[in-house]
Amino acid sequence: MAGEPILIVEDNPSNLKLVKILLTVEGYEIQTATNAEEAIELLKTFRPRLILMDLQLPGMDGLELTRKLKSDPKFHKVIIIALTAYAMKRDEEKASAAGCDGYITKPIDVGAFPSEIVKYLKKNKVGPLR
Ligand code: MN
């Protein structure tokens, strides 16, 4: 799993920093974006296997960006994991409906986070959330 490219899309600086550090120490190749437009620009040259997608973003939100990517043949196989503010059922449903392959709730559980990512990377196929 080490070295796998991951894109983090998150507008909250402390969350972005935390997630970036947690994944960098695991050896992943990390790129970050703080909004959808920046992510789209990065994706012209960076091909992540997994995207961590904050749902609440300024401008185009994470749900819209997920729908956009999942409807694009170039990106529909990229694993997209929503970062949701709370374990809100509505958020989980919305993430799933938009095409997210799973979700991780914030605040990030530092101990569990790395293995969650490994679990999602090991999944070859897009499946239901549960
Ligand atoms: Mn946000």
Position 128 in a domain: no
Position 129 in a domain: no
Residue ranges of the chain with pLDDT lower than 70? 1-2, 86-88, 124-130
Domain count along the chain? 1
26 Cα to the center of ligand 1, angstroms: 24
Tokens of 130: 């549960």
Rounded CA gap, 57 and 52, in Å? Answer: 13
User: Mean pLDDT in the chain?
Assistant: 91
Q: Which amino acid belongs to residue 96?
A: S
105 Cα to the center of ligand 1, angstroms: 12
Place of tokens 């920093």: 17
User: Domain range spanning residue 45?
Assistant: 5-121
Gyration radius of the chain over CA positions = 13
List, in order, residues 6 or more apart from 55 with CB less than 8 Å away.
61, 62, 63, 82, 83, 84, 85, 91, 94, 95
Q: Tell me the pTM.
A: 0.92
10 Cα to the center of ligand 1, angstroms: 6
